[in-house]
Structure 1
Amino acid sequence: MTSFDPSTLFRARGCSRQWLGFVRALAEEFAAELPEHELATLMARIGRRFAHRHPIGECVALGEVETAANRIWGEVEWGQCRMEEQAGSVEITHAAPPLAVALTGMDWSDGFLAGVYEGWFQQLGMLAGLAVNAERPPAPDLRRLRLARAV
């Protein structure tokens, strides 16, 4: 009997084979030319463009934002998120983003997700002085971000 391991399946199919080599080569070239903080900034700009092209729509409560984000992520097969309000911040956990497979070990790629979520919160009227920042990933296929006062 064959063992079933969903994480292995995800890692094998998390990024289309037709794009995997290209994305890795592109990332390696970027990494050879730019320092990590500039790469994270570039990825955040790309993420904000994605958010602009995939508007979140009208949302009033955080649960509605999570539902709308997961609808968009589902349409583009980019995993799913959970948003949790905490004292002074919103914690965003994003599961199974393809970049986690394609760009393993390149933590600057989390800037893309930070830019997307920041773009969506800006569409919803996010106050000046707030920002979305990537935090240390809790697991290889999970990304953690936080909407909080910019430091």
Structure 2
Amino acid sequence: MSKNDLQYYESQQCSLQWRAFLNAFSAEFSTKGDLKDLRLFMHQLGRNMASGLGFKGGDNLQLLEDNMNAIWERMHWGWVEINEEAEALVLLHHASPLKTAFGEQALSWTPALLEGIYASWFEGMGMDSSLRLQQKTAEAGFAQVLVFELKRQVEESPFFGRR
């Protein structure tokens, strides 16, 4: 996919009626705290949002992915791929509307919204308490793929310190 194609698809991800507001909100909000606090806020917002999305869970990875993608498709929020690796489940979230909605400058903290949604869904399915879901990389890159890992944590994540 070319950069122009990607820019076109990104432009379709956020309703025009909300784009100016959300970009202005993002610019103002990002001045109100440090990165840790902004991510914590978005993570908690994602947890709250997750409860109203009607997630059905799944007893295998394909059904889990299908049920997540049914929600993302309904919302026009892209799609997720779930890959099983040796020590983690890796979630690759494609075509998120976060960059278009909040602006590229907010990509350091807005993906914590998805992190909170996914974490809440896994916890609701009875995830082992020693596992944590966290964004693996802070950069979405050219392809706008956000990467999250579900794995055992040696240290407590800063996003789980305040609930």
What's the TM-score, normalizing by structure 2? Answer: 0.84
Unmatched 5+ residue regions in structure 1? none
Partner Cα separation in structure 1 for residue 115 and residue 18 of structure 2: 22
User: Match for residue 146 of structure 2?
Assistant: 143
Q: How many residues align?
A: 149
Whether 1:98 aligns to 2:92 is: no
What SS does the corresponding residue of 2:127 show, helix, strand or coil? coil
User: Match for residue 35 of structure 1?
Assistant: 34
Residue pair 1:55, 1:120 contacting (<8 A) in 2 also: no
Q: 1:18 to 1:138 in 2, by over 3 A?
A: closer
Unmatched 5+ residue regions in structure 2? 156-163
Whether 1:130 aligns to 2:128 is: no
Cα displacement string for residues 45-77 of structure 1 (whole angstroms, at most 9, x for unaligned residues): 111112111132141111111100000000111
Q: 1:50 to 1:89 in 2, by over 3 A?
A: same
Superposition deviation, residue 4 in structure 1: 10
Superposition deviation, residue 105 in structure 1: 2.9
Partner Cα separation in structure 1 for residue 86 and residue 5 of structure 2: 34
Partner Cα separation in structure 1 for residue 125 and residue 87 of structure 2: 18
What SS does the corresponding residue of 1:94 show, helix, strand or coil? strand
Tell me which amino acid in the other structure corresponds to 1:117: Y
Partner Cα separation in structure 1 for residue 68 and residue 14 of structure 2: 20
Partner Cα separation in structure 2 for residue 100 and residue 138 of structure 1: 9
Map of 1:53-68 to 2, 5 A cutoff? Answer: 53-68=52-67
Greater strand share, 1 or 2? 1
Tell me which amino acid in the other structure corresponds to 1:139: G
Q: 1:86 to 1:24 in 2, by over 3 A?
A: same
What's the TM-score, normalizing by structure 1? Answer: 0.91
Cα displacement string for residues 82-138 of structure 1 (whole angstroms, at most 9, x for unaligned residues): 000111211100011110222313211110010011011011111112111112235
Greater helix share, 1 or 2? 1
Q: CA RMSD in A?
A: 1.8
Identity of counterpart residues, as a percentage? Answer: 26
Superposition deviation, residue 17 in structure 1: 1.3
Partner Cα separation in structure 1 for residue 135 and residue 60 of structure 2: 22
